[in-house]
Amino acid sequence: MNQSAPPLQPDQIRAIPLNKLAFVASDTEEARAALDSLSERYGNYSVEDADAIVALGGDGLMLQTLHAHMSSGKPIYGMNRGSVGFLMNEYREDGLEERLAKADITTIRPLEMTAVGEDGTTQKALAINEVSLLRQTSQAARLRISVDGRVRLEELVCDGCIIATPAGSTAYNLSAHGPILPITAHLLALTPISAFRPRRWRGALLPNSAKVDIEIVDPAKRPVSASADHREFRNVTHVAIEESTRLEGLIMFDSDHGWDERILTEMFRY
């Protein structure tokens, strides 16, 4: 039986001319117009035949595209035709092939979430940005947090918490006053949302090898939902999160305004 070849690594991709492009776009009028214009100018191959994927929209489309083509070996280059574009490059039609040839390629690994419901069923999902737990009612959530099998926080009373990747550290995590992580950092951000007890706890930075287990205390009275990016599971009793060791995506940024530069700009914003 023939086995498929392993995905190409960033250094190998840089040595290949990225001439065959597959364009994908969100449903907005602006993104669809860009799709038509760029397809006419550069052609539009199927994803299977393309050297790279160009996503036209906002961060939501980039996440969808990364999820859809995880471990395909196809690098994804986003151009902003949406309202939020931290993961996107500036939209310009001229010189696209030259920009792709010079772009930085970064490997990102998703989080694997396993959530157990009140009925005992188990659900699994991937998160490129973050896994978030949120209270479902007016009652604050009570969470017990373990890292690598050891209880680190016996009780966190809060609206919820976030476990964010470097790619997701500038999204929901940042809005909850969590730390911004460089895209190449081997870290995860564990950030509380409106912590009531312990009131002064601001979260933790964890190695990306950490396995995080969150037990919902008194789930009948204080129900909690768990979300992996855009997938939500309600009435969970236990959630396990760890970075995948088997899946990866490839994201491209312009070399003159890459992720590191965006991170520094955001860190010094006031």
Q: Which residues are annotated as a binding site?
A: 59-60, 129-130, 159, 167, 170-175
Q: Cα separation of 206 and 152, whole Å?
A: 12
In Å, how far are 18, 23, 42, 131, 198 from 34, measured between CA atoms? 19, 10, 12, 32, 49
Helices vs strands, H then E, count in the chain: 6, 17
Alpha-carbon gap, residue 56 to 190, rounded angstroms: 31
Q: 122-135 as b/e, with b when 16 or more CB fall inside 10 Å?
A: ebebbbbbbbbbbb
CB of 151 within 8 A of CB of 234?
no
- Exposed e or buried b for every residue in 71-104, given b needs 16+ CB within 10 A? ebbbbbbbbbbbeebbbbbebeeeebeebbeebb
Please confirm, yes or no, whether 59 is among the known catalytic residues. Answer: yes
Which residue(s) pair with 191 in the sheet?
Answer: 162
Catalytically annotated residue among 51, 59, 94, 256? 59
d(CA 91, CA 126): 28
Which segments are annotated as binding site for NAD(+)? 59-60, 129-130, 159, 167, 170-175
What is the rounded distance in angstroms from the CA atom of residue 187 to the CA atom of residue 181?
Answer: 8
| Contact (CB, 8 A) for 240 and 123 | no
The alpha carbon of residue 25 and the mean position of all alpha carbons in its chain are separated, in whole angstroms, by: 18
Active-site residues, by number, are 59
